[in-house]
Amino acid sequence: MSPSAIDGNGSGMGIVVVSGGTNGMGRAFALERAERGDRVLVLGHNRARGEALASGSMAFLPVDLSSVTETRQAIEHILTEYPVVDGLALFANALAPRRVLTADGLERTFALYYLSRYLLSFGLRPALDRAAAPVIVNVAGVGITRGEVHWADLQLAAAYSTITAQLQAGRANDLLGVGFAQRSGSRARYVLYHPGFTRSGDRSALPWIVRGLLAAASVAARPVVGAVAPIHRFLDEPPATPLTAIDRGRQLPPDFPTLDPRDAERLMDLTEKLLR
Ligand SMILES: NC(=O)c1ccc[n+]([C@@H]2O[C@H](COP(=O)([O-])OP(=O)(O)OC[C@H]3O[C@@H](n4cnc5c(N)ncnc54)[C@H](OP(=O)(O)O)[C@@H]3O)[C@@H](O)[C@H]2O)c1
């Protein structure tokens, strides 16, 4: 990674913000960034896990990223404390077996898995744009063509399932990458990255039978360290183009069906309206 250079953070190291850095892939990524000499700010929900990480060059900011208010407060905090941000890595997600509405009246998976990433990506733009070679990595499921954005029912009031909500937010994140590249005007490179089936993920909210099946299948899953290895490369050698989409090792073409520029415009418009 090129250390922050434009305004300079004075440390000679990079500053990396990791949402969902308290567990799973985010945690492994955050720890390795710190080992490599970056200053890392971890955003997460579980205070015990977060505080256990906070020492030396790692800081922890507790935040419920399913809350628009708390996510906005976190962004304000970051812009004040870290005027330059070199890397933003987005991992936060959680499975919701039942449809739960947040205090903002939003379906929780949509709020956490998609909307917090929208807010952080656009909200941290000023700090990212002061870095020498800023990169945003959105870790989700690009390359999957199942699922869709339910345009007439974004909050899935009519037909909810855990999978429907996960797939909708996944497709929305695909469009977020396209939308950010199209309309943010930022210098930050946006990378959509699908790690594939990995030995991570909090499945405690799932029925025991599903947990059992996933545990059996996880023998074939990727180790966490291997799944996050490409993310280090994205930060260390930022891509030349504004948007890059990588499904495991495969680079997806810009005309991949889930990366439709008109759908991205439509979702960015709807999201702006929703947040007004
Ligand atoms: N694991 C896989 O096989 C796989 C496959 C494809 C894609 N992915 C994607 O990769 C990403 C990371 O997955 P993972 O397996 O590493 O997940 P994970 O182990 O379950 O970690 C999820 C992270 O999100 C945080 N989080 C959950 N709810 C939050 C909230 N309300 N506010 C703030 N933070 C919250 C958790 O924080 P706390 O612990 O503090 O609650 C944790 O740090 C996800 O987007 C997932 O969809 C995973």
CATH number at residue 157: 3.40.50.720
- Closest ligand 1 atom to the C-alpha of 170? 47
Torsion region of 86: left, alpha or beta (phi above 0 gives left; psi -120 to 50 gives alpha) = alpha
Strand partners, 61: 43
Domain membership flag for residue 7: no
Measure 227 CA to ligand 1 centroid, in angstroms.
Answer: 13
% of the chain beyond a pLDDT of 90: 87
Sort 227 into a burial class: Cβ within 10 Å, 0-12 / 13-18 / 19+.
buried
Average pLDDT, the chain: 94
Which has more confidence, 122 or 13?
Answer: 122
Domain membership flag for residue 2: no
Query: Which tokens sit at 59?
Result: 């800081």
Measure 230 CA to ligand 1 centroid, in angstroms.
Answer: 17
Pocket of ligand 1 (CB under 6 A): 20-26, 44-46, 49, 63-66, 91-94, 112, 139-141, 194-195, 197-198, 200-202
pLDDT interval class at 168 (50, 70, 90): very high
Domain membership flag for residue 248: yes
pLDDT interval class at 6 (50, 70, 90): very low
Domain membership flag for residue 179: yes
Structural domain harbouring 270? 15-275
pLDDT interval class at 1 (50, 70, 90): low
**Atom 8 of ligand 1, residue of closest alpha carbon:** 140
Mean pLDDT, residues 129-139: 98
Sort 136 into a burial class: Cβ within 10 Å, 0-12 / 13-18 / 19+.
buried
Domain membership flag for residue 6: no
Mean pLDDT, residues 150-176: 97
pLDDT tens figures, 73-104: 999 999 999 999 999 999 999 999 999 999 99
pLDDT interval class at 219 (50, 70, 90): confident
pLDDT tens figures, 23-38: 999 999 999 999 999 9
Domain membership flag for residue 95: yes
Q: Residue 7: is its pLDDT beyond 50?
A: no
Domain total in the chain: 1
Mean pLDDT, residues 97-123: 98
Q: How far apart, in whole angstroms, are the C-alpha atoms of residue 168 and residue 141? A: 11
Domain membership flag for residue 96: yes
Domain membership flag for residue 181: yes
% of the chain beyond a pLDDT of 70: 95
What pLDDT does 192 receive? 98
Contact 30, 88 (CB under 8 A): no
- Closest ligand 1 atom to the C-alpha of 92? 24
What pLDDT does 77 receive? 98
- Closest ligand 1 atom to the C-alpha of 66? 31
* pTM of structure: 0.95
Q: Residue 128: is its pLDDT beyond 70?
A: yes
